[in-house]
Amino acid sequence: MNAMREDYDRLEEVFAAASAGAATFHRDLAERPVAADYTDQIRPTETLPEKGDGALAALRRFEAEIVPGLSGSVGPRYLGLVTGGATPAALAGDWLAASVDQNLALPGDSIATAITLRTLDFLKDLFGLPREAFEGSFTTGATGSNLLGLTTAREWCAEKAGVSAAEVGMQGLPAIPVLSACPHASMIKVLSVTGFGRNALVPVARLPGSEAMDASALDAALGEQADGPKIVVASAGTVTMTDFDDLNAVADICARHDAWLHVDAAFGAFARCLPELAELAAGLERADSIAGDCHKWRNVPYDSGFFFTRHGDLLERAQGLSAAYLATGSAEPAMMSRTIESSQRFRALPVWMTLVAYGREGVEDVVRANCAQASKLAAWIEAEPGFTLLCPARLNVVVLSVAEEDGTPASAERNGALLAALARGGTVFASPGAVGEHAGIRMCFSNWMTDDADLPIIFEAFTLARASL
């Protein structure tokens, strides 16, 4: 305990050392490999020390033992998954969130709940969602948001059956089909966690050559289901081909069949920020529930997701908890009844900081620049004989394959070998991908740091990796 008190007495020194280490990490990003080899940094026989040496000593060990094994994933050429960076304001907000350490579980003793609600309103403004129609919360990410979507939908389905799923569980409900054309892997996980079961998924046909839902197939599939509640999971930006379901058509069909509409808009919601792209996600405002992420294209540090629903009462019925010691008498909602976690960090603060610091224009600039970078990479791939583009770059994702001598896409093994060569090269990181039967390489531009000066470096990295095969 004395060591803790001593560290607290010299808190400015501890913060200064941590800040200097963070600044050095960012200053050295250009030299840091985007995918680090950390195997030599682990001490396999180390055991928990009986007595610690204080925060400054721990920071010295962090610099010596951990920093060399960290990736440059916050930098401009980490193009795997959908990985945003962290804007300076969001990074500062995240540090401050940890420093003030507000527990968002309950309102009444801090401004944190009010700022959380205001920040959710800012996001509604950003995405063109009517403030009064949606309630929501911040989550750990799109997986948590998708889970909230299905638990809220489950309560809606139960209400139609005259029961509460929160009270009686799934055994009190009829089988509930969940229809989707291209659900994200996290949604399959959520089907398992929420008790629907993965077998509840009813695949809906896609449009030819696309990951987007065939609306007429959805209409037919809903008509084939037994009487009772149904759930439709639509996509606003699929993870590989960045296709968008026709949300207005899907919403019309859901209304006709009395089905709940959940939209996974983890990064595709940001298309609504640009006039030239907004039509892709038209109809998002008609959803019953929406899942999204801020640690993707909003460039807020992990973890940061958001969830919106038109049915706040059902969300709180599904997630609510009560006890005498939890009563607050506050008019503000208890965020512990709107999320999975009871205790939860002040996740809104980094989002509030970056939105206030850079405004709508800042978001638009990043989205527009990343989409342009993806288009330029796609054009380069099409011009290079050693590669082939597997689908058009519609938004911020490029999917390609190594090309065989006859120009056809190469095998998964050949593409995997190129991915490994890219990682060894240290300047670019990409993920596996597939379009139809063709395995490939998927690259996603979602970092505010990426600019056109990075493109020649990416081109050269691909050229060198291709030559090494």
Higher pLDDT, 40 or 424: 424
Tokens for 455?
A: 């493109």
Do 181 and 298 lie in one domain? The reply is yes
170 and 282 in one domain?
yes
Pairing of β 178-180 and β 230-235: parallel
279 is a domain residue: yes
pLDDT of residue 329: 83
Confidence of residue 172 (pLDDT cuts 50, 70, 90): confident
**Whether residues 294 and 361 fall in one domain:** no
Q: What type of residue sits at position 105?
A: A
pLDDT of residue 375: 98
What's the structural domain count of the chain? 3
- Domain of 425 in residue numbering reads as 356-467
Domain's final residue, options 294, 326, 345: 345
- Give the CATH number, domain containing residue 226: 3.40.640.10
**Is 177 in the same domain as 273?**
yes
Single residue among 345, 369, 391 that ends a domain in this structure: 345
Q: What is the CATH number of the domain that holds 458?
A: 3.90.1150.10
CA-to-CA separations, 348 to 64, 123, 297, 362, in angstroms, rounded: 33, 11, 16, 18
335 and 366 in a common domain: no
Between CA 301 and CA 88 the distance in angstroms is 10
**CA distances (Å), origin 42, targets 66, 167, 293:** 9, 47, 32
Q: Does residue 78 form part of some domain?
A: no
Structure tokens at 52: 């610690």
Look at residue 63 and tell me if it is in a domain: yes
One domain for residues 340 and 384: no
Alpha-carbon separation of residue 325 from 108, 195, 322 (angstroms): 13, 30, 8
Query: What's the mean pLDDT when you consider all of the chain?
Result: 95
- Are residue 312 and residue 422 in the same domain, yes or no? no
pLDDT in tens, 119-163: 999 999 999 999 999 999 999 999 999 999 999 999 999 999 899
Query: Residue 402 falls within a domain, yes or no?
Result: yes
In angstroms, the CA 9 to CA 22 distance is: 22
* CA–CA distance, 308 with 124 (Å, rounded to integer): 9
Residue 182 lies in a domain: yes
Q: End of a domain among 292, 318, 345?
A: 345
Counting residues of the chain whose pLDDT is more than 90, the rounded percentage is 90
**250 in a domain, yes or no?**
yes
Same domain as 58, residue 140: no
- Supply the DSSP string of 399-462, one letter for each residue: EEEEB-TTS-B--HHHHHHHHHHHHHHSS-B-EEEEETTEEEEEEE---TT--TTHHHHHHHHH
25 and 116, same domain (yes or no) = no
Is residue 121 located within the same domain as residue 231? yes
Do 276 and 407 lie in one domain? The reply is no
Mind listing the pLDDT tens digit for each residue in 205-257? 999 999 999 999 999 999 999 999 999 999 999 999 999 999 999 999 999 99
Q: Is residue 389 situated within a structural domain? A: yes
Contact 79, 429 (CB under 8 A): yes
Indicate if 258 and 361 belong to the same structural domain. no
Q: Is residue 83 part of a domain?
A: no
